[in-house]
Homo-oligomer: A and B are copies of this chain.
Amino acid sequence: MESLPPPAPPPLSDAALEMIAARFRALSEPLRLRLLHLLMERERTVGQLAEASGSGQANVSKHLAVLRQGGMVGTRKQGLSTVCFIADPLVKQLCDLMCHHLREEMTSKAKALAFDPRI
């Protein structure tokens, strides 16, 4: 069983690390996070995402391809349009965790500033 120190993490092959890294990489672009955020609200077509995000159609389409390949976004054809939706609820958990991470760091930095407010 586990002894006192941190439970030993399971071994991880290079291939597994590469796959995990690829998924984090899919979440490492602001525009892709913006698209995911918009999709958490409701399903949208590619065109709607382009307009709502303020980015070009080609660019949005390419970023959506990355998210689709990462298993985070799904699509279905509806007439001419491509309707996009969040395919994996884990995406929201990941982003929430990261937001929490960020918030913690910001508040700790704010505290540090409060101790020395000469800037």
Contacts and interface: CB of A to CB of B under 8 A. Distances in A.
A6 B91 CA distance: 14
Interface of A: 5-6, 8-9, 12, 14, 16-25, 27-30, 32-34, 37, 40-42, 71, 88, 90, 93-95, 97-102, 104-105
Contacts of A16: 102
18 contacts: A5-B42, A6-B41, A6-B42, A8-B41, A9-B37, A9-B40, A9-B41, A14-B30, A17-B33, A17-B37, A19-B102, A20-B30, A20-B95, A22-B28, A24-B25, A88-B104, A94-B94, A97-B97
Contact of A101 (B28, B90, B95, B97): B90
Given A20-B30, A23-B102, A24-B28, 8 more contacts: A5-B42, A6-B40, A6-B42, A9-B41, A24-B24, A25-B25, A90-B104, A94-B98
Q: How many copies of the polypeptide does the oligomer hold? A: 2
Contacts of A101: 23, 71, 88, 90, 94
Nearest to A95: B20
A53 to B, nearest CB: 10
A34 B5 contact: no
